Chains A and B, each alone.
Chain A
Amino acid sequence: METSDLSTATGASKSASRPRLKSSEQWIWLNAAAIGASLCALFGMLLLLFVKGSAHFWPADIAQIDYTNTFGESRQLYGRIIEVESVPIEQFLESGRSLQGAAGESATVERWLVKSGSRRLNPPDFRWVFSAQVNGTSYPKDLTVFQRMEWGDLYGMPLALSAPNEPEKVFPRTSSDSPALLMEKLQRRLEQVRETRRQIASLESGEVRRISVQLEEARSQLRFLNQTADSIPNNQLLTQRVQVLEVSIKKVSMQLRKLYENLDRGSVYVQLAQGSVAEIKLAELYSARQPNQMSTLSKASNFIANIGSFLTENPREANTEGGVFPAIFGTVLMVLLMSVMVAPLGVITAIYLHEYAKPGVLVSVIRIAINNLAGVPSIVFGVFGLGFFVYFLGGNIDQLFFPEKLPSPTFGTPGLLWASLTLALLTLPVVIVSTEEGLTRVPRSMREGGLALGATKAETLFSIVLPAVRPAILTGVILAIARAAGEVAPLMLVGVVKLAPALAVDSIFPYLHLDRKFMHLGFHIYDVGFQSPNIEAARPLVYATALVLVGLIVGLNLAAITLRNRLEHIYRDVET
């Protein structure tokens, strides 16, 4: 009908025979809904991370809960109410408890998850309390959170302080000071302890480390020379050097011991929930706070200070306490090294493929291979990195350049360099593809212009084409960063560790230590969340660390995007 009667088959008659989308409005709404859903999912995720993560930093009130336990004994508990949830009444009854009081009518009972802290002294440190059993909740003003260097928080009332020098024999003790005065004294002493601790830490990570590294190097050289029975004068020089270093390390150790002696040896005595008294050595105390007395403003400033120390401090207690600074540092450094490696490699590959290689079967096969490389699971890259980079390349480097340290490996073990290289390999296809796309977009007339002025092909490429491709290269690097910063699986094989003894950058020559192992936020999340001995306590840290990781990736990307946009501003009209 349509072919025979073309002249009468106008638009109107056609639309009658086939239903058409009359208006684009539904389509637009569909699009808008899809965008809305995506945004909701995205912001929902960020909000969840933020809310769950920030709970860890907010100095919440500490409750004193009086309740009756299953055996009818009345108990007291200090702690933070972390979670409130409803449980079916059957479950409550089946657990052998009896109902008393007001909750009798409803089908569910409330139960609270209370962090009672005080690990090791008053276990368990997390417990469920049914609201039906609670006789009263109050928030005493003097209830204090003691952040210990080990075993987490402890909640209790400060009773007394012992003098800094002689260890106190009398126990327990009470003080004549008012609670406020006691707290003030405690804070002053704690500040001194922190200062001494800082000095110790800087000495240990600075001087002590530097000398022991030098000493270790000299000793292993000496050992090596003795083995190979080489020149004697060298030998004597080295022996002298070892002696000098040994003297200086003794000196530093004395200094260190003096600092340790200066540490406050007093204790604070704390009354725990059930009336028992605990002694906390000031040297093992990190901070003491009384959130029940704080105004919202000082809570907020505390919150910010807590976040600050989370971002800038080292982790403590098998990563479940303290900060994530080494992990942030490791992630950023690894990503930067990766970018530095992947950008030139990818760009050069793309230039060869696009500008010089003669199109043919081989080039097509290489292109397909590159595109498929992007789909290889990342753990496979990790296995490759371990087998090739670490064992083969690293092993050979050690044989060639660091024979005096063998059998302990230098580069023949997972480390920063190999992790960056592995990720560079992983992200190589992204950079190649986007660079090639950039090269395709540079108009032919631009190249002809250069060639017509007597420039050679290479000159045209480097002075005209490549500058115009820079935004595309940066786009590739941005995508590479986004992918690399979030990778965990391959890194576990080629250099990431739970706890790195030192940062990869320090003041010891050669300043950037590519052979060192490092920490990574992604692995940190895994480690804290799944490998920690105290999962309940570590949970908020998982969220907080995840938020930091997201923030970091966003930050790295924004930096790269800003750079690209500045370049694009310069080259914006190229494609017209």
Chain B
Amino acid sequence: MNSFSFDSKRCERIRQHLDSYLSNELLVETTSEVVQHLENCQGCSRELDARIRVRDVLQRAVVSRPVPDSIRADVMHKLRESQVRSFAGVGVRRWALGLAALAAIVVGLFTTEWLSLRRGEQLIESILKLGLSDHLICAVREHNYPEVANPPDQIRKKLGPRYAPLLQVVQERLPGYDVLEGHICSIPGSDRKYIHFIARAHGTILSVILTERSGATFPRENLLVTADSDSLGIYENRLSGMEIAGFESGQYFAFVVSDLSEKELLQLARGLAPGLNETLHKTTPVLPAKAATKWVKRGSSQG
């Protein structure tokens, strides 16, 4: 077999995965295989760019289609009309009451509650995506960790005095995991910095990520389920095949990201949260801690 046919076959195989890669639907192992191949193959990399371009021009074009202002009014009219039909023959008073109830449902549920819940879900999702993107880019795609764990002193040096104490917490609170790497990183095109720990157990890569909240906060109205009073509020969701848990700690969002099951990841996040919280409060200037976050709730139903 010559190298040409080998490469062609490999490219062919990778290209079969490109659609799912583009939709973030690949398993982590395959994603990593695709990413590694893309780094070394200009042809496939260009092919991916072309596919991304097709998606981008499509998105742009579809969104450019105007939505007539009249639609909203027409929908409301249709709903009222249907309600009038439903209440016909039951007397004016009940009809009027019915209409008022409909208006309340439409205005109340369709706009306020739906929107508020949806906004809450979107907000949780967008916050969790901060951690997800750093994990996918820095750990999965860029593979920024060694096969054998970096010496702790080296990691502490990279983290600087402010964040170095976090290493011990991560090492202690992730039983069975080797902490391979710790550093401060950023995502191209973003000013945001991430304190990023990469750990591994039985071939599973896990990221612990901290980033400044900059005033953002998880929406309290989406929290429904109480957890035990000592724990911090942990939000959790599955996005792009990854399980992500997040919580607030002083000025920071903390995330734990991996392709573990929800139960496994939440267990690790619960173990990490108090230690990280305590250490962050000791080592960094914090705002008054509002530890009224005794809730656990899935971010949205995407998973």
A binds B: no
Task: Give residues in A with beta carbon < 8 Å to B.
Answer: none
Task: Give residues in B with beta carbon < 8 Å to A.
Answer: none
